[in-house]
Amino acid sequence: MKRPRALLAVVVPPLVVGLVFLSLWELLIRWRDVQPYVMVKPSAVWSALVDNVGPIRDAAFVTGGNAVAGLVLGTLLGVVLAVVASAVRPLGDLINPLATAVNAVPIVVVVAVLTRMYEADSETPRRIMAMLVVFFVVFVNVLRGLRETNATQLELMKSYAASPLQQFRTVRLPNAMPYLFTGIRVAAPLAVITAVVAEYFGGKKNGLGSGITSFLSTAKKDVGLAYVAGASALGVACFAAAAILEFVAVPWQRRRSSR
């Protein structure tokens, strides 16, 4: 347990930085008399947030739903294919460079193609987009976990005359678990970001992303920034959920995950 003083040293500096930042922002806009269609005060954002809690929450459910759907499907697909790829080596060698390429590319533009493949009011393109992004992260991580096993443990299993299936179940699979949960933790905020940005490419105007574009690009910047705050909260929530899941699911990893 941390002593109160140590805790204070961790909590106070970020609070001070945050307060200084917000006050500077507020004061700058008051002093220079910046027009609301250029930039708004943080206090205005706060009141907009309070006034629009309902719509923002509804939009967060739509976008969050898409992100979670993508996260779940992408994780499942990633795990299954990684298991197959660890057994069939060429498959891994095939998907790995693709994953590297996808990570370098703003893959979200593919949603432009997907929007036409589904009905205009369909959420599917956004979910598929989030799924694709999650899939590559999870696949790469799990495959690494399945391949990088402790040499001593593998020798031990051979000395036990364990069958390949036993070896997979007792060594490779548990060994890949921390990698899986790290992958989910990394992919969770990406799923949210993808789900938000995917809404920039048309489709039903019901999520955080469409709220952000429609308000932020007009004079109602306060409402737009309130939507951005909602999206940020969603991102942090997804990340926190994934981090807690990791903490609970792979306890032996706790002492190492000081990263």
Partner 1 sequence: MAYGMLAAGLVVGGWEAYRRWFGPWLGAEGNEVGTVLGWKILPRTSANLAMPPVEQMIDELTKPEVRGSSTAVWQAVLEATLMSLWLAFAALVLGAVVGLGVAIAMSRFKIVQRGLMPYLVISQTIPLIALAPLTVTWGGEISFFGFEWQKWTSAVVLGAFLSFFPLAIGATRGFASPTPAALELMESYASSWWSTWRRLRLPSAVPFLLPALRLAGSAAVFGVVVSEISVGYTEGIGYLTLNYLGEGTARPAKVFSAVLGTIALGLLMATAVGALDRFLGRRRPTQELV
Partner 2 sequence: MSEQQPAVHAADLEKVFNIGRPTQVEALVGVTLDVQPGEFVSLIGPSGCGKSTLLRLIADLLEPTAGELAVNGKSARQARLDQDYGMAFQQSGLFDWRSVAKNIELPLELKGWDKAKRRARSKEMLELVRLGDRGSSMPWQLSGGQQQRIAIARALAAHPPLLLMDEPFGALDEMTREHMQSELLRICSETHTTVVFVTHSIPEAVYLSDRVVVMSPGPGRITQIIDVRLGDQRDDDTREATEFYQKITEVREALRGSELGAAARGIEDR
Q: Which residues bind partner 1 (CB under 8 A)?
A: 9-10, 13-14, 16-18, 35, 37-39, 93-98, 100-101, 103-110, 112-119, 122-124, 182, 185-186, 188-189, 192-193, 196-197, 200-202, 208-209, 212-213, 216-219, 221, 224-225, 227-228, 231-232, 235-236, 238-239, 259
To partner 1, the closest distance from the beta carbon of 42 in angstroms equals: 13
Question: Which of partner 2, partner 1, none has residue 166 at its interface (CB below 5 to 8 Å by kind)?
Answer: partner 2
Question: Which of partner 1, partner 2, none has residue 46 at its interface (CB below 5 to 8 Å by kind)?
Answer: none
Contact positions with partner 2 (CB under 8 A) in 135-164: 150, 152-153, 155-156, 158-162
Chain centroid offset of residue 177 CA: 19
Cα dihedral: 12, 17, 20, 23 (round 10):
-100
| Angle of helix 53-87 versus helix 173-198 axis, rounded to 10 | 140
3-state secondary structure (DSSP) of residue 2: coil
Report if residue 165 touches partner 2, rule: CB under 8 A: no
Report if residue 170 touches partner 2, rule: CB under 8 A: yes
Question: Which of partner 2, partner 1, none has residue 159 at its interface (CB below 5 to 8 Å by kind)?
Answer: partner 2
Distance CA 213, CA 211 (A): 6
Identified binder of partner 2 from the candidate list 4, 90, 106, 251, rule CB under 8 A = 251
To partner 2, the closest distance from the beta carbon of 178 in angstroms equals: 9
Distance CA 161, CA 180 (A): 28
Kindly state the DSSP code that residue 109 receives in the 8-state scheme: G
Question: Which of partner 1, partner 2, none has residue 201 at its interface (CB below 5 to 8 Å by kind)?
Answer: partner 1
Kindly state the DSSP code that residue 205 receives in the 8-state scheme: S
Report if residue 252 touches partner 2, rule: CB under 8 A: yes
Distance CA 64, CA 89 (A): 35
List Cβ neighbours of 180 (8 Å cut-off, separation of 6 or more). Answer: 75, 79, 138, 141, 142, 145
> 177 or 186, CB closer to partner 1?
186
For residue 256, give Cα distances in angstroms to 77, 243, 259. Answer: 27, 14, 7
To partner 2, the closest distance from the beta carbon of 145 in angstroms equals: 12
Angle at 4 between CA 2 and CA 7, to 5 degrees: 65
Residues that bind partner 2 (CB under 8 A): 150, 152-153, 155-156, 158-162, 166, 170-171, 174, 177, 250-253, 255
